[in-house]
Amino acid sequence: MNTIYLARHATPDWSRKDIRYDIPPGPPLVEQGKIEARQLGIYLKEVGAKKIFHSPLERTRNTAEIAAQASGLPFEERSEIIEWREDETESDLHARFWPFWLWCVENNEKIGPIALITHGGPARYMLQHLGIDLKILENHRHMYDYTNPLPPAGAWRIEREQPNAPWQFELTFKPPTAKRIS
């Protein structure tokens, strides 16, 4: 069984217009985001995750640090899962994210369930590339901020029972503080 949790960073300070969102450091977390990150960590512990990988931007690093503190899980930075940059094409994103995804799948049995704390754009791309029903994806993109397919600190469980089986998708965690858009 392959089980990977594809999570989004917790709520950052989007009011910071002096910092680009897509290049380091990016905006930091707000207090609500710190609470969400802790909730995500508790959830990851409850579902038996064994390791957290995170993007190098400040909001994902802080989310991972707080989640790891709450869960006792080890965490590691990976540049492959950084935010989708303004100058990147979908092919560029695929070229950097896909090889790391394959590494996670190959090492999943040895490590156990893995959590990737990334960003809304890369999460959307990976869900679509892995074969999620596009109606389900679009429905979720209309629920959360900035057309992301999950709320801040939310997590999709992506799993399959056998190597060639189709992936199964479920948005299994939304922090209690998560807000849907009206």
Number of separate domains in the chain: 1
Evaluate whether 50 touches 111 at the Cβ level (below 8 Å).
yes
The predicted model gives 135-153 an average pLDDT of: 93
pTM: 0.95
The SS3 assignment for 2 reads: strand
Is pLDDT at 181 greater than 80 in this prediction?
Answer: no
Q: How far apart are CA 51 and CA 114, in angstroms?
A: 5
Residue 1: predicted pLDDT: 86
Across 98-111, average pLDDT: 95
Q: What is the share, in percent, of the chain residues with pLDDT greater than 90?
A: 87
Residue at 182 is within a domain: no
> Is the residue at 179 inside a domain?
no
pLDDT band at 37 (very low <50, low <70, confident <90, very high): very high
Q: What is the mean pLDDT of residues 162-174?
A: 94
Q: 72-93, pLDDT tens digit by residue?
A: 999 999 999 999 999 999 999 9
Report the pLDDT value the prediction gives residue 177, as an integer from 0 to 100.
78
Query: So what's the pLDDT on residue 78?
Result: 98
Identify whether 23 is part of a domain. yes
Q: Helix or strand or coil: residue 141? A: helix
Domain with 84, as residue range(s), is 2-173
CATH number of the CATH domain containing 13: 3.40.50.1240
CB 81 within 8 A of CB 88: no
Q: Is position 52 within any domain?
A: yes
